[in-house]
A and B are shown apart, each in its own frame.
Chain A
């Protein structure tokens, strides 16, 4: 008797579509929320994160280079993850495993001693410009402080002992919108998807129509998935709205594959819808569903790297953040839009979303009440 019936499922789907079409308020939300949030978050949000992971490419090891690396560590702005070769360094940057790569060029030691101002190359993942600003300004001072004392008086140059060349990758002009717009994509989807599905089932319960639905042979899987599908479409509409605004209003670059982007978006939408529908099968009324949504929405916004640079947060917050789908979604979307990442670099942030979704779905089906008890 528990078999899935496609025609029943279709019936639920059609009903949801009709009800959605007649619900002016929800329709307003679909268009209104992205626009309002785009305006709100156009403002910059300042912060000064420390302990950013940095990799060192050491082409010329020597006492000065070692002293410089030690000074970077002492500044507390950097966490040195190790010495790597150039290719590995590139890969680390692409996967967002480090924020900086500092390269000591061949002849660094010799040039420094001779007062020839060697060039230190710093590559920064500046997709979130806020995250790297503080650290770069520290690097600028560091040169004079470290070497001034140790260089013999004669060779001591009047100004800087070396030159710092900073390479801001992914967002060379440090445009905040580049970072905010992909982030908004995630935040808006989180909020509207969870809220709307959260209300979908509790609304039936509050109006008493749930009793009628339960009196029919419809199964929990049919009801839950049938209610989800219309919102997937709504989510895709919202994403398209935001992407159009990102491209034509903010001029955000879109380097990666758009199909890949929509694939990631679809996964993220499903994860949020699953959570929403689970909330609504646990909640007794619409108010409770709303409270649960915000209870989940706040940490998502604060701890995912949307509001504050992820690496600037304390360990416990990063731990919580890693559980949230939004955290991984942000990395994936920035990776696709700003870095042009392809499929092969994405798995590491895809499975946490899948795991989250599976766990929540099991919870939702487990708590779906077939009766009014």
Chain B
């Protein structure tokens, strides 16, 4: 099978606000039809990166292409082919649902505006409420309307900035099914998110912290890149022992998973020895497990925080 062409291909992208270096040497490659998940803690530069990709912010330095167009010089052309969904709902609260769609369609110079808008309304299941003000919609409906609005002009690339924040689980599931349908139709999607389950629905992932892209690849590749060894600890009295487990030599990371605990470290042998020694005096049990995506993310975040603060 031929490899799909690169839709996003940028490198060395930097952005500073004043003396705050918000995005550092970002390199990103996303292939056509791919769903690329963009993860990272708040304030790590996800929104800033996405805005640079669609020309809303000018990078201080860097080079690359988006849909084969230069991100630095051809942002006006890029805008016509990209659907960008902002993190915060940014359609007009004081326009009705159909007025909002109609306005967006006009801005993109749609030929058959009326029928496009009607079709979008039907697709949303909002035909009956077309005259309702957008500001009065609930979070889930706002999100669907925003998605419909950025799909109106049939973009080849979707940039979705935390589209499911504050949306209930059912609506989230529907949303992701829609994303996969679009991806199957050849549309490339870059989506930022906080949710682990959403990360696992992406084809490939990138993890950014404090402005630096720390890892990218499939979920397996990202996990493997951290070279972690993980044990799951369970049993009664676990809560009281957590603090002492943290102090064990070689324990880089301790994270709760429901009633159990994941303890991970880069030096597997050292951690294993320490754990076996410690658990002998308790009634807890330990099982070696493959590190999860979440373990890998938390580990990356800790590492970069130590570096950032140290």
Contact B90 A211 (CB under 8 A): yes
Write 17 A-B pairs (CB below 8 A) sorted by A numbering: A1-B77, A8-B109, A19-B92, A22-B94, A208-B88, A209-B91, A209-B92, A211-B86, A212-B91, A214-B56, A215-B86, A216-B79, A216-B104, A217-B80, A217-B109, A218-B107, A373-B57
A2-B76, A211-B56, A217-B80 known; A7 vs B109 contact (CB < 8 Å): yes
On A, residues with C-beta under 8 Å from B are 1-2, 5, 7-8, 10-11, 14-15, 18-19, 22-23, 207-209, 211-218, 371-373
Contact A216 B57 (CB under 8 A): no
Q: Flag whether B54 is at the interface (Cβ < 8 A).
A: yes
Residue of A nearest to B110 (CB): A7
Interface size on B, residues (CB 8 A): 29
In the complex, what distance in Å separates the CA atom of A253 from the CA atom of B260? 90
Contact B84 A215 (CB under 8 A): yes
Q: Flag whether B108 is at the interface (Cβ < 8 A).
A: yes
On B, residues with C-beta under 8 Å from A are 51, 54-58, 76-77, 79-80, 82, 84, 86, 88-95, 99, 102-104, 106-109
A8-B106, A371-B55, A371-B56 known; A15 vs B92 contact (CB < 8 Å): yes
Contact B95 A18 (CB under 8 A): yes
Q: Is the interface of A mostly helix, strand, loop or mixed?
A: helix
Apart from A208-B88, A209-B90, A212-B90, list 7 A-B contacts with CB within 8 A.
A8-B106, A211-B86, A215-B54, A215-B82, A215-B84, A216-B107, A372-B51
Q: Which A residues are in CB contact (< 8 Å) with B80?
A: 217
Residue of B nearest to A213 (CB): B107
Q: Within the complex, what minimum Cβ distance (angstroms) separates B32 from chain A? A: 21
Q: Within the complex, what minimum Cβ distance (angstroms) separates A365 from chain B? A: 16
A19 in complex: contacting residue of B51, B86, B91, B95, CB < 8 Å: B95
Q: Which A residues are in CB contact (< 8 Å) with B55?
A: 371
Q: Which B residues are in CB contact (< 8 Å) with A10?
A: 106
Contact B58 A371 (CB under 8 A): yes
Q: Within the complex, what minimum Cβ distance (angstroms) separates A124 from chain B? A: 53
A11-B106, A216-B104, A373-B58 known; A1 vs B86 contact (CB < 8 Å): no
In the complex, what distance in Å separates the CA atom of A22 from the CA atom of B90? 18
A19-B92, A19-B95, A215-B79 known; A8 vs B107 contact (CB < 8 Å): yes
B57 in complex: contacting residue of A15, A212, A371, CB < 8 Å: A371
Q: Which B residues are in CB contact (< 8 Å) with A211?
A: 56, 86, 90
Q: Within the complex, what minimum Cβ distance (angstroms) separates B286 from chain A? A: 49
Q: Which B residues are in CB contact (< 8 Å) with A214?
A: 56
Q: Within the complex, what minimum Cβ distance (angstroms) separates B232 from chain A? A: 43
Contact A7 B95 (CB under 8 A): no
Q: Within the complex, what minimum Cβ distance (angstroms) separates A357 from chain B? A: 27
A11-B103, A372-B51 known; A215 vs B56 contact (CB < 8 Å): yes
A217 in complex: contacting residue of B79, B88, B92, B102, CB < 8 Å: B79
